[in-house]
């Protein structure tokens, strides 16, 4: 029988949310946030944990074993998935971050991410469906006509309507300018034709209909630079002839989340927003999408870390003959467990802090504060997304190491965690793309976010080893700004590693200096101290690699 995850420990999630950067200001931003006293927050997290334990954890095993299947042109989800989705909707979880005016509960982003972490810890494939629903709702709320909003947003909030984000095509993934899907103007609207791939929950039997947010070329095909616009294709209008599922991808992990290739054949569509501005309009959802990847990474990292710690306390090996000791007593096992725990604690803290900044960037009454917070959010997004992906995979791999041969078997959930985690470094742009985005856009083009981060982090970590790490980060940024493009590209990945180290160090410094004395805080402070004890040596290495330039890459010529 497969081993279960340890019980949820919500004390650290609740404490981190309460102590996160400027959360006390966030709860005063909007009327719907004002009800969130400490008791209400704990109650919401407890209900989420109960649903995750009772419903999602058992479902996760079925979804991983059987996955989704394509039968008769439609996707059929794993046994129990429909019932779990119905319970998810009935308990109001589908509406937590939708706007109140369209039937949502309009809870603040940090709390919504804390809930998502809990669900993704138990069943990350299940959590893949609400994310595109919420992202689609943001696009529609920002750019659609009032009648379209009224027709779609309540149905998305209630969980009645599914949604997808259709961007990628074969040969045109991150390079959207190679897109071939076309939108043709017709007397009664638009028609979409083309194929889109890598579409999470591109089809399923959980909702009666799906609305697809589709990027397509709206020019006549002769333009030097493609005109890319955003369209909605509603399957209630397009029908199965207009939108067909060509296949479900056979994947390494996340088996219960159907990743589909869709064919649009003259599908009726509605233009959303301004023609030719589709790609730019997509950025309205980038904060939530990248933080959702971070939350999924955190959920997977937490499950792996918890299993490893629980196992190490019970597994006995070494010591006197006939009296073996728990392996948690061994120094190297403790080192491994500290690394896993530091990942989860610091990733959670960083994710919540960024979510608070996103709320302040959207709703603060001070224009200068909104601008500063927005710059910080843009600086942090590639960091949070990549750190979440890295922590998930590292923790799953590390948990297998702690469990030894047992961890490599399907009896324990960490082998699935490894498989599920691997794709996170690909979602929303690979880690290499995130590195180039961070360096080119947030350092070379406009370093307002970097400067704001350095100011905030130095204020919190002035008397800690973080200070040296921040100096190295600033120095690497200055060197790369003046470097040749080839040297910049060669150093981008190491610069991102240095930025992640420093960002986690900021959280560590806050933990050490600001948290209280109760048990949950003691564990967080210990994780922070561990990170700060090791930060300088790691920072020196990342800095050296970042500024080294493209010289070592010249050796690739032997393989060209």
Tell me if 137 sits within 8 A of 183, measured CB to CB.
Answer: no
Burial class of residue 559 in the structure, from the number of CB atoms within 10 Å of its CB (0-12 exposed, 13-18 middle, 19+ buried): exposed
Q: Which two tokens stand for residue 163?
A: 């949604």
Partners of 161 in the β-ladder: 209
Which CA distances in Å does 334 have to 338, 365, 379?
Answer: 6, 47, 33
Question: 């129990």: which residue's tokens?
Answer: 80
Partners of 217 in the β-ladder: 182, 228
Give the pairing type, strands 209-217 and 228-234: antiparallel
Tell me if 226 sits within 8 A of 278, measured CB to CB.
Answer: no
Which CA distances in Å does 484 have to 348, 543, 551?
Answer: 36, 17, 12
Distance between CA atoms of 61 and 55, rounded to whole angstroms? 11
Tell me if 203 sits within 8 A of 155, measured CB to CB.
Answer: no
Does the annotation count 99 as an active-site position? Answer: no
Q: Which two tokens stand for residue 379?
A: 């600086």
H runs (alpha helix) in 199-285? 235-242, 278-282
Tell me if 197 sits within 8 A of 174, measured CB to CB.
Answer: no
CB atoms within 10 A of CB 517: 7
Q: Which of 195, 339, 428, 463 is catalytic?
A: 428
Tell me if 101 sits within 8 A of 62, measured CB to CB.
Answer: no
Distance between CA atoms of 168 and 186, rounded to whole angstroms? 24
Distance between CA atoms of 529 and 559, rounded to whole angstroms? 44
Distance between CA atoms of 443 and 456, rounded to whole angstroms? 17
Q: Which two tokens stand for residue 560?
A: 């060209």
Describe the crossing of helices 367-403 and 485-514 by its angle, rounded to 10 degrees.
Answer: 90
Q: Which two tokens stand for residue 288?
A: 């939530």
Residue 133 φ/ψ, nearest 5 degrees: -60, -45
Which CA distances in Å does 10 have to 16, 276, 359?
Answer: 10, 46, 23
Q: Specify the DSSP class assigned to residue 275.
A: T
Residue 549 exposure: Cα atoms within 13 Å on the Cβ side: 6
Task: Give the chain's radius of gyration (CA, Å).
Answer: 24
Of the candidates 472, 463, 527, which has an alpha carbon nearest to the alpha carbon of residue 497?
472
Distance between CA atoms of 298 and 295, rounded to whole angstroms? 5
Distance of CA 418 to the CA centre of its chain: 16
- 414: Cβ contacts below 8 Å, ≥ 6 apart: 303, 304, 307, 308, 396, 399, 400, 403, 407
Which residues belong to the active site?
428
């Amino acid at each position: 029988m497969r081993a279960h995850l340890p019980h949820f420990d919500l004390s650290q999630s609740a404490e981190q949310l309460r102590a996160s950067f400027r959360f006390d200001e966030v709860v005063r931003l909007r009327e719907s946030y004002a009800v969130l006293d400490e008791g209400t927050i704990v109650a919401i997290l407890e209900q989420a944990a109960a649903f995750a334990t009772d419903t999602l954890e058992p479902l996760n095993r079925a979804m991983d074993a059987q996955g989704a299947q394509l039968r008769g042109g439609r996707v059929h989800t794993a046994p129990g998935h429909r019932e779990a989705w119905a319970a998810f909707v009935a308990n109001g979880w589908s509406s937590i971050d939708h706007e109140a005016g369209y039937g949502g509960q309009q809870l603040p982003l940090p709390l919504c991410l804390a809930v998502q972490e809990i669900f993704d810890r138990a069943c990350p494939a299940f959590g893949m469906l609400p994310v595109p629903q919420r992202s689609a709702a943001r696009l529609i709320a920002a750019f659609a006509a009032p009648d379209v909003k009224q027709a779609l947003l309540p149905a998305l909030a209630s969980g009645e309507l599914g949604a997808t984000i259709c961007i990628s095509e074969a040969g045109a993934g991150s390079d959207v300018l190679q897109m071939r899907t076309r939108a043709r103007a017709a007397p009664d609207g638009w028609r979409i034709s083309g194929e889109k791939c890598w579409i999470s929950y591109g089809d399923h039997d959980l909702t009666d209909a799906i609305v697809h947010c589709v990027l397509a070329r709206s020019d006549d095909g002769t333009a030097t630079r493609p005109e890319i616009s955003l369209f909605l294709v509603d399957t209630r209008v397009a029908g199965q002839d207009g939108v067909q599922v060509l296949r479900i991808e056979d994947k390494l992990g996340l088996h219960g989340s159907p990743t589909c290739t869709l064919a649009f054949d003259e599908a009726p569509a509605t233009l959303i927003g301004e023609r030719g501005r589709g790609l730019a309009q997509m950025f309205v959802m980038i904060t939530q999408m990248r933080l959702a990847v971070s939350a999924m990474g955190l959920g997977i990292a937490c499950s792996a870390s918890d299993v490893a710690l629980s196992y190490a306390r019970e597994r006995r090996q070494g010591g006197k003959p006939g009296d073996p000791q728990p392996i948690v007593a061994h120094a190297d096992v403790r080192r491994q467990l500290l690394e896993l725990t530091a990942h989860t604690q610091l990733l959670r803290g960083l994710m919540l802090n960024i979510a608070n900044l996103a709320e302040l960037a959207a709703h603060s009454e001070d224009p200068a504060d909104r601008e500063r917070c927005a710059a910080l959010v843009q600086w942090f997004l590639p960091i949070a997304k990549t750190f979440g992906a890295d922590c998930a995979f590292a923790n799953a791999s590390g948990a297998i190491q702690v469990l030894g041969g047992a961890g490599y078997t399907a009896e324990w959930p960490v082998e699935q965690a490894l498989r599920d985690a691997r794709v996170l470094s690909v979602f929303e742009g690979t880690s290499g793309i995130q590195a180039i985005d961070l360096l080119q856009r947030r350092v070379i083009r406009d370093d307002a976010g970097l400067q704001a981060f350095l100011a905030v982090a130095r204020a919190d970590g002035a008397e800690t080893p973080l200070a040296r790490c921040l100096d190295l980060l600033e120095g690497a940024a200055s060197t790369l700004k003046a470097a040749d493009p080839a040297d910049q590209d060669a150093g981008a990945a190491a610069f991102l590693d240095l930025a992640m180290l420093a960002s986690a160090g900021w959280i560590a410094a806050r933990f050490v200096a600001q948290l209280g004395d109760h048990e949950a805080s003691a564990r967080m402070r210990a994780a922070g101290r561990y990170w700060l004890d090791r930060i300088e040596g790691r920072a020196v290495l990342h800095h050296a690699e970042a500024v080294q330039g493209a010289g070592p890459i010249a050796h690739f010529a032997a393989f060209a």
